[in-house]
A = this chain, B = another copy of it.
Amino acid sequence: MTDIETVARRAAAAAAPFAETVPRERAAALVAAADALDAAAEELIAVAIRETGLTEPRLTGEVRRTTGQLRLFAEVVVDGGYLDVRIDEPDPDYAIGPRPDLRRMLEPVGPVLNFAASNFPFAFSVAGGDSASALAAGCPLIVKAHSGHPELSRRTGEVVASALAAAGMPDGVFQLVEGQQAGVDLLRDDRIRAGAFTGSTRVGRMLADIAASRPRPIPFYGELGSVNPVYATAAAVASEPDLVAGFVASVAGSAGQLCTKPGFLFVPAGADLGDVAAAVAETGEHRLLNPGIGRGYAQRRGTVLAAPGVRVLAEGVVRVDDADQCWVTPTLVEVDLDTLLAHRDELLEESFGPLSVIVRYPDAAALPAVHRDLFGGNLTSTLHATDADTDTVRELVQALAATSGRVLFGGWPTGVSVTSAMQHGGPFPATTTDATSVGTAAITRFLRGVAYQNAPQALLPAPLRDDNPWRVPQQRRAAGASQRWGSLTGAI
């Protein structure tokens, strides 16, 4: 049994010493963790294949992404731009009254609890993006392991913990716990200062409610559910011979168990998509992550297939083996837009697995309103259009941006790049807040602003000092710099 009290106490005790580690030390520790994971990759991937049913190529790519994002965050830490350092020099003539010396930076919030996901046993799990960004921010981390890959979680945890310790990080900066009760108990513990989660809407909402109802509420960054609609214009369908093949590959990849799987493809009523069934026929059976997900998928698929007006394009396989594991091939169905509007209760919910719905729309001009009506919050929305469509799709693009974290022009939403400009998070239920859990902006979730007023240089944190020993970007405002807003009317 996990001793929650000890775990919370160790994390809290690590907060101050970890926050004080200098950037190059913390960055080196992240790189050391990445190196250690790369060195152990062969062994870890073998465990992951057995525990999750995901394929070796997919898991190999996922390890590369996981260690890559640890190294990317190391670079973010050394760069220091994420600290958002602002220095206002004192100004006795400031327009609203004398201004003191004010210096503000972002500082770590304290211990972070990360609930790992089932579907990315590396990239959204023990050493995944939430973990990398929390550690990069300087926050002690507790990972609640996902029950779907316990051995992999323990082994990954050992590799990371050893690497961080060998790199000189304080005791208690990384801890692993197992079991739902341990996670909930820690989430309620006053010493935990932020939560992160990737998983279902049901569990994510339950945890978000716990975080919000604590005596001292904390932010809870959950990535919950998304159906990632894709829209294709008539011209795009006509000019993209690979449209259906690309769609099927995106739906079938990792057996559809991706948060960015396209759940709906909107095409014109009369457009010729060719033989969709044939495009699916070559997809081999893929095991779903665990028996529970298999049962959930079978049930959800049954609901979709039973909805009135649903036409089956590719029925797909759902086969349970002797070990209770579920094996699947893609199920593709087609509906008219009116059917989708009439049966949204059955059809709109996310299907976690390789099921997707092709929607035939009669009038492209109605799509912006249809989209806003159906899809209030998604991680992604995608548009396939041609240059000739530019003026007619403008309103649809605005609707997609208003309801999604990422808008794609061509291509498919699966395969999320980890970069400076990535946004993986959108209006609820895509995420519980609008923050991103992928890319370098994810670090901001675990930071808070602290201002120092008239502090002597000797008592300022390094990033705020005039001699700037860490060489971080400093936004400096000299006295008089803002005086022009006294007469801004004339200037603009």
Contact = CB atoms under 8 A, between A and B. Distances in A.
Interface of A: 15-16, 24, 27-28, 31-32, 35, 61, 64-65, 68-69, 71-72, 74-75, 78, 84, 86-88, 94-97, 99-100, 102-104, 107, 109-110, 193, 208-209, 212-213, 216-217, 219, 376-377, 387, 390, 393-394, 397-398, 401-402, 404-411, 415, 417-423, 425-429, 432-436, 439, 441, 448-456, 458-459, 461, 475, 477, 482, 484-486, 488-489, 492
B482 A75 contact: yes
B75 A485 contact: yes
Nearest to A429: B216
Given A96-B418, A390-B459, A425-B449, A27 B492 contact: yes
B477 A420 contact: yes
Given A64-B96, A213-B209, A432-B217, A71 B488 contact: yes
Contact of A104 (B422, B427, B452, B484): B422
Contacts of A486: 71
Given A377-B216, A394-B459, A453 B102 contact: no
Contacts of A409: 452-456, 459
Contact of A428 (B217, B436, B456, B475): B217
B24 A492 contact: yes
A422 B86 CA distance: 9
Contacts of A410: 454
A449 B75 contact: no
B449 A436 contact: yes
A55 B27 CA distance: 54
B216 A208 contact: no
Contacts of A61: 97
A485 B209 contact: no
Contacts of A451: 405-407, 421-423
Contacts of A485: 68, 71-72, 74-75
B492 A28 contact: yes
Contact of A411 (B100, B103, B421): B100
A362 to B, nearest CB: 24
Nearest to A477: B420
23 contacts: A27-B488, A27-B492, A31-B488, A32-B489, A35-B489, A65-B97, A71-B488, A74-B492, A94-B417, A97-B415, A100-B411, A104-B420, A110-B402, A208-B212, A216-B428, A390-B459, A397-B459, A406-B450, A409-B455, A409-B459, A423-B450, A423-B451, A436-B449
Contacts of A439: 104
A374 to B, nearest CB: 14
Contact of A208 (B28, B217, B459): B217
Given A402-B16, A422-B451, A102 B459 contact: no
Contacts of A102: 417, 419-422
Contacts of A411: 100, 453-454
Contacts of A422: 88, 102, 104, 451
Contacts of A475: 420
A86, A217, A492: most-surrounded residue (chain B CB, <10 A)? A492
Given A103-B421, A419-B477, 5 more contacts: A16-B402, A96-B417, A99-B419, A102-B420, A406-B451
A96 B449 contact: no
A68 B24 CA distance: 41
Contacts of A456: 387, 390, 409
Nearest to A413: B453
A449 B441 contact: yes
A65 B455 contact: no
Given A97-B415, A417-B97, A492 B31 contact: yes
A456 to B, nearest CB: 6
Contacts of A87: 421
A253 to B, nearest CB: 13
Contacts of A24: 492
Nearest to A458: B390
A345 to B, nearest CB: 15
B459 A393 contact: yes
